[in-house]
Structure 1
Amino acid sequence: MSDGEFEQIFPTGEANEAFAQYFIGQSYLAPLAGGSVPVSNVTFEPGCRNNWHIHHGSDGGGDQILLCTAGSGWYQADGEEPLSLVPGSVVRIPAGTKHWHGAKADSWFSHLAFITPGEGVSNEWLEPVTDEVYRALHENGENA
Structure 2
Amino acid sequence: MKLIFKCLGPLLFLAITANGQKNKSENPPVFPLGNKVTNGNFTGNVWLQMLVLNDTIYNSNIGSVTFAPGARSKWHFHPGGQLLLVTEGKGLYQEKGKPIKLIKKGDVIKCPPNVVHWHGATPTDDMTHIAIGTNSQKGNVVWMDYVSDFEHKSFK
TM-score, L = length of structure 2: 0.76
Give 1:128 shift. Answer: 0.7
Partner in structure 1 of residue 63 of structure 2: 40
Give 1:118 shift. Answer: 5.0
**Greater helix content:** 2
Deviations, residues 62-82 of structure 1 (Å, cap 9, x unaligned): 110000000110010001111
CA distance in 1, matches of 2:113, 2:65: 20
Partner in structure 2 of residue 76 of structure 1: 94
CA distance in 1, matches of 2:61, 2:138: 16
**Greater strand content:** 1
Unaligned runs of 5+ in 2: 1-23
CA distance in 1, matches of 2:115, 2:28: 31
* 1:122 alignment partner, SS class: coil
* 2:141 alignment partner, SS class: strand
Q: Which of 99, 108, 112 in structure 1 is aligned with 2:126?
A: 108
CA distance in 1, matches of 2:120, 2:142: 17
Residue 86 in structure 1 maps to residue 109 in structure 2 = no
Unaligned runs of 5+ in 1: 57-61
Residue identity in the other structure for 1:50 = S
CA distance in 1, matches of 2:61, 2:116: 21
Give 1:8 shift. Answer: 2.7
Give yes or no for contact 2:61–2:136 (8 Å, CA) kept in 1: no
Partner in structure 2 of residue 95 of structure 1: 113
> When the two structures are aligned, how many residues end up with a matched partner?
128
Change over 3 Å in CA distance of 1:106–1:93 after alignment to 2: same
Residue identity in the other structure for 2:97 = G
Give 1:7 shift. Answer: 5.0
Root-mean-square deviation (Å): 1.9
Change over 3 Å in CA distance of 1:54–1:100 after alignment to 2: same
Residue identity in the other structure for 1:90 = V
Give yes or no for contact 2:61–2:134 (8 Å, CA) kept in 1: no
CA distance in 2, matches of 1:132, 1:126: 17
Structure with greater Cα Rg: 2
Give 1:124 shift. Answer: 1.1
Residue 30 in structure 1 maps to residue 49 in structure 2 = yes
Give 1:109 shift. Answer: 0.6
Residue 12 in structure 1 maps to residue 33 in structure 2 = yes
